[in-house]
């Protein structure tokens, strides 16, 4: 594939790098890219650009579209992403259900299947669903990604308390059934990637904090995950941020953790679950004392302030069920974090945009891994993936 660089094969790897650049230009081109445009943007000759495009068309990655507006002389043919050929499978695995979506290369979903299970039937039902997809789409599958709660090194589920999995070689199992490369991604990491997709205007670090029953975070740089050598970047939920009398008992057994103050359970009580919809969360939030919400905001603000001083991120994005608390909560966080510690600058804090397509984060990761390219913000809005 385009990413299989062989360091000894210099000519081959230069060619693959150029194929990736050309393909990325088509992905960003909103259907109006041309061979001449690729030559201009890359500095390659017209002949080389044409040869790259020919290979991309043969590979089922690019299609020719209508004729571009004439700039004098022969009309150029436009190029678009080929949405009719290769497919990306994205599996969102949760404790009691899973969503399996097949995405075309332009990020549109062409088939979505949901399955429900218990802890006992989960493995069997997932296997059946994956086998059905392999039977229906096997020839067209390019790559797959499975998104799940818990830590993963991309190949194994290291630990998932919610799924009751520990050291499970899930990628191997899925690859055997699907016959294509499979990668695993933590659900918060996938959310963070989804928020950073298409953000070419503001590169740099982006800090993403998911707040639900638990708190997880992820750091992206230029839209790519920065997971750390032990795959633990973003595990901030049980870092102590409250001390003395303010430190409440946490579900991990220690006191004063970020989760003990700022998780949705800490703020809204034990009735809160991650399965609640926004309306249900709003009802629950109305009954809560403002002081509790303010304490949660303060603990989060301390964490955000320290992480921002360290990373100088373009922005801090807060996602997950906490969005139902509305601007009231975010304003409190901003107020608490809004003091000018010497040498720092104030970093914008916003809620995640979310989006109607829950497959985008893991799908983008799979796309980068298979083809080395990124969707553009325009592509995602064109397929209804961006809910803003
Ligand atoms: Zn804790």
In a domain, 296, yes or no: yes
Q: How far is the CA of 321 from the centre of ligand 1 (A)?
A: 19
In a domain, 10, yes or no: no
The model's confidence at residue 340, banded by pLDDT at 50, 70 and 90, is confident
Average pLDDT over every residue of 321-336: 93
Q: How far is the CA of 235 from the centre of ligand 1 (A)?
A: 11
Largest interatomic CA distance in the chain: 78
> What contacts 344, CB < 8 A, 6 or more positions away?
305, 308, 309
Alpha carbons 13 and 28: distance in angstroms, whole number = 22
Alpha carbons 31 and 63: distance in angstroms, whole number = 10
Contact 226, 217 (CB under 8 A): no
**Does 214 lie in the same domain as 325?**
yes
Tell me, letter by letter, the H, E, C secondary structure of the chain.
Answer: CCCCCCCCCHHHHHHHHHHHHHHHHHHHCCCCECHHHHHHHHCCCHHHHHHHHHHHHHCCCEEEEEECCCCCCCCCEEEEECCCCCEEEEEEECCCEEEEEEEECCCCEEEEEEEECCCCCHHHHHHHHHHHHHHHHHHHEEEEEEEECCEECCCCEEEECCCCEEEECHHHHHHHHHCCCEEEEEHHHHHHHHHHCCCCCCCCEEEEEEECCCEEEEEEECCEECCCCCCCCCCCCCCECCCHHHCCECCCCCECEHHHHHCHHHHHCCCCCCCCCHHHHHHHHHCCCHHHHHHHHHHHHHHHHHHHHHHCCCEEEEECHHHHHHHHHHHHHHHHHCCCCCCCCCCCEEECCCCCCCCHHHHHHHHHHHHCCCCCHHHHHHCCCCCC
Residue 71 is predicted with a pLDDT of 60
Q: How far is the CA of 307 from the centre of ligand 1 (A)?
A: 18
**Does 345 lie in the same domain as 233?**
yes
**Does 209 lie in the same domain as 333?**
yes
Q: How far is the CA of 122 from the centre of ligand 1 (A)?
A: 28
Residue 134 has pLDDT above 70, yes or no: yes
In a domain, 385, yes or no: no
Q: How far is the CA of 258 from the centre of ligand 1 (A)?
A: 7
Single out the residue in 81, 96, 125 at which a domain terminates.
81
In a domain, 183, yes or no: yes
Residue 386 has pLDDT above 50, yes or no: no
Q: How far is the CA of 257 from the centre of ligand 1 (A)?
A: 5
**Does 103 lie in the same domain as 77?**
no
Q: How far is the CA of 363 from the centre of ligand 1 (A)?
A: 31
In a domain, 3, yes or no: no
Q: How far is the CA of 252 from the centre of ligand 1 (A)?
A: 4
Contact 247, 255 (CB under 8 A): yes
For 261, left (φ over 0), alpha (ψ -120 to 50), or beta? alpha
In a domain, 8, yes or no: no
Residue 388 is predicted with a pLDDT of 35
Average pLDDT over every residue of 277-289: 90
Q: How far is the CA of 139 from the centre of ligand 1 (A)?
A: 46
The model's confidence at residue 269, banded by pLDDT at 50, 70 and 90, is very high
Q: What is the mean pLDDT of the chain?
A: 89
Q: How far is the CA of 238 from the centre of ligand 1 (A)?
A: 4
CATH number at residue 219: 3.30.420.40
Single out the residue in 55, 81, 107 at which a domain terminates.
81
**Does 371 lie in the same domain as 344?**
no
**Does 115 lie in the same domain as 131?**
yes
Q: How far is the CA of 254 from the centre of ligand 1 (A)?
A: 5
**Does 110 lie in the same domain as 174?**
yes
In a domain, 113, yes or no: yes
> What are the structure tokens assigned to 268, written together?
């809204």
Q: How far is the CA of 326 from the centre of ligand 1 (A)?
A: 25
Alpha carbons 129 and 78: distance in angstroms, whole number = 38
Q: How far is the CA of 341 from the centre of ligand 1 (A)?
A: 27
| Cα distance between the two ends of the chain | 34
State the pTM of this model.
0.86
The model's confidence at residue 70, banded by pLDDT at 50, 70 and 90, is low
Q: How far is the CA of 93 from the centre of ligand 1 (A)?
A: 25
Average pLDDT over every residue of 108-128: 96
**Does 209 lie in the same domain as 336?**
yes
Q: How far is the CA of 264 from the centre of ligand 1 (A)?
A: 14
Q: How far is the CA of 211 from the centre of ligand 1 (A)?
A: 14
**Does 345 lie in the same domain as 364?**
no
Neighbours of 3 (CB within 10 A): 13
> What are the structure tokens assigned to 89, written together?
């499978």
Alpha carbons 144 and 175: distance in angstroms, whole number = 9
Instruction: Find the domain containing 187 and state its range.
Output: 87-192+357-380
- Long-range contacts of residues 162-167, Cβ cutoff 8 Å, at least 24 apart: 162/94, 162/95, 163/93, 163/95, 163/122, 164/119
Q: Tell me which of 182 and 76 has the higher pLDDT.
A: 182
Q: How far is the CA of 150 from the centre of ligand 1 (A)?
A: 16
**Does 110 lie in the same domain as 33?**
no
The model's confidence at residue 73, banded by pLDDT at 50, 70 and 90, is low
CATH number at residue 34: 1.10.10.10
Q: How far is the CA of 349 from the centre of ligand 1 (A)?
A: 24
Alpha carbons 374 and 366: distance in angstroms, whole number = 10
Percentage above 70 pLDDT, the chain: 91
> What contacts 220, CB < 8 A, 6 or more positions away?
192, 193, 195, 196, 205, 206, 208, 226
Q: How far is the CA of 249 from the centre of ligand 1 (A)?
A: 8
**Does 342 lie in the same domain as 211?**
yes
- Our count of domains for the chain comes to 3
Q: How far is the CA of 237 from the centre of ligand 1 (A)?
A: 7
**Does 343 lie in the same domain as 361?**
no
> Starting from the edge strand earliest in sequence, which strands make up the sheet with 141-148, in order?
109-116, 97-104, 87-93, 141-148, 182-186
In a domain, 319, yes or no: yes
The model's confidence at residue 27, banded by pLDDT at 50, 70 and 90, is very high
Residue 124 has pLDDT above 80, yes or no: yes
């Amino acid at each position: 594939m385009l990413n299989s660089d062989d360091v000894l094969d210099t000519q081959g790897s230069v060619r693959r790098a150029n194929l990736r650049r050309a393909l990325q230009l088509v992905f960003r081109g909103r259907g109006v890219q041309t061979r001449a445009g690729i030559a201009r943007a890359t500095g390659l000759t017209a002949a080389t650009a044409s040869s790259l495009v020919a290979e991309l068309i043969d590979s089922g990655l690019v299609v020719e579209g209508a004729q571009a507006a004439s700039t004098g002389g022969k009309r150029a043919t436009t190029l678009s992403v080929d949405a009719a050929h290769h497919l990306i499978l994205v599996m969102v695995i949760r404790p009691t259900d899973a969503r399996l979506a097949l995405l075309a290369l332009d990020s549109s979903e062409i088939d979505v299947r949901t399955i429900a299970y218990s802890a006992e039937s989960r493995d069997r039902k997932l296997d059946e669903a994956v086998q059905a997809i392999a039977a229906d789409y096997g020839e067209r599958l390019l790559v797959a990604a499975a998104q799940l709660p818990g830590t993963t090194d991309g190949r194994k589920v290291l630990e998932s308390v919610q799924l009751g999995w520990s050291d499970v070689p899930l990628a191997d199992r899925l690859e055997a059934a699907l016959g294509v490369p499979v990668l695993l991604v933590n659900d918060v990491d996938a959310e963070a990637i989804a928020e950073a997709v298409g953000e070419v205007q503001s590169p740099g670090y982006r800090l993403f904090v998911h707040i639900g029953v638990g708190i997880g975070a992820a750091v992206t740089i230029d839209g790519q995950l920065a997971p750390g050598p032990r795959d633990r970047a973003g595990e901030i939920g049980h870092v102590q941020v409250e001390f003395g009398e303010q430190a409440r008992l946490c579900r991990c057994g220690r006191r004063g953790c970020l989760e003990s103050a700022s998780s949705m359970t800490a703020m809204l009580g034990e009735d809160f679950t991650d399965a609640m919809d926004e309306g249900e969360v709003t009802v629950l939030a109305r009954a809560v004392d403002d002081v509790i919400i303010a304490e949660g905001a303060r603990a989060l603000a301390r964490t955000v302030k320290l992480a921002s001083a360290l990373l100088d991120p373009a922005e801090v994005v807060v996602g997950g069920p906490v969005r139902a608390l509305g601007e009231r909560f975010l304003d409190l966080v901003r107020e608490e974090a809004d003091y000018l510690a010497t040498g720092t600058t104030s970093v914008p804090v916003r809620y995640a945009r979310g989006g109607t397509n829950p497959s985008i984060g893991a799908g983008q990761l799979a796309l980068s891994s298979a083809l080395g390219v990124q969707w553009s913000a325009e592509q995602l809005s064109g397929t209804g993936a961006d809910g803003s």
